[in-house]
């Protein structure tokens, strides 16, 4: 495979993190690490801009004692317009729950579910992962 050489500039702090991350993985050089990061970025971009039916997972951590949080999370899934294929619930600690939601629909519908869930009071983190 032919390659083109480019030069990039990174803040020392970012370069240090990249090298530390490479040390924890099987990457054997910076070029391969940067290429993999870019491929992942392109894949996300294609998913977001692509047409048709997509699949994504949304992982959220929430404080289950927060009043109304579970009702709100359930309502968002019912009202989303996308199909919620499956959910996984894990009682992480006495206070926190992890919910993983697999959703099928347009990228816009799935993104909307993630955005709505992220805005619910009691939700501490919410991450959308594109699947296909
Ligand atoms: Ni729980």
Question: Is residue 23 scored above 90 in pLDDT?
Answer: no
* CA distance linking residue 74 with residue 71, whole number of Å: 5
CA of 127 to the centre of ligand 1 (A): 18
Q: What confidence score (pLDDT) does residue 50 get? A: 86
Element (H, E) at 58: strand 54-63
**pLDDT score, position 100:** 97
Q: How far is the CA of 71 from the centre of ligand 1 (A)?
A: 13
CATH fold for the domain made of 54-130: Alpha-Beta Plaits (3.30.70)
Domain extent listing, the chain: 12-49, 54-130
Mean pLDDT of the chain: 91
**What pTM does this model have?**
0.76
Percent of the chain with pLDDT over 70: 100
Ligand 1 centre and the CA of 98: distance in Å?
7
CA–centroid distance, 40 to ligand 1, in Å, is 32
Query: How many angstroms does the Cα of residue 44 sit away from the middle of ligand 1?
Result: 30
Residue 56 C-alpha to ligand 1 middle, in angstroms?
A: 22
Ligand 1 centre and the CA of 128: distance in Å?
Answer: 20
Question: Residue 8 Cα, ligand 1 centroid: separation in angstroms?
Answer: 45
Q: Is the pLDDT of residue 48 over 90?
A: no
pLDDT tens-digit profile of 69-123? Answer: 999 999 999 887 778 999 999 999 999 999 999 999 999 899 999 999 999 999 9
Residue 104 has what pLDDT? 94
User: How far is 6 from 34, CA to CA, in rounded Å?
Assistant: 11
In terms of Cα–Cα distance, which of 103, 90, 88 is closest to 64? 90
Rounded distance from Cα 43 to ligand 1 centre (Å): 32
38 pLDDT more than 90? yes
């Amino acid at each position: 495979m032919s390659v083109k050489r480019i030069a990039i500039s990174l803040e020392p702090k970012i370069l240090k993190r990249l090298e530390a991350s490479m040390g924890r993985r099987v990457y054997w050089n910076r070029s391969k690490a940067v290429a993999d990061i870019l491929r992942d970025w392109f894949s996300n971009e294609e998913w977001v801009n692509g047409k048709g039916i997509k699949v994504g997972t949304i992982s959220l951590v929430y404080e289950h004692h927060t009043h109304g949080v579970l009702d709100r999370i359930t309502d968002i899934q019912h009202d989303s317009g996308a199909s919620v294929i499956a959910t996984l619930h894990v009682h992480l600690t006495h206070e926190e729950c992890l919910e993983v939601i697999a959703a099928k629909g347009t990228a816009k519908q799935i993104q909307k579910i993630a955005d709505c869930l992220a805005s619910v009071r009691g939700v501490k983190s919410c991450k959308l992962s594109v699947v296909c």
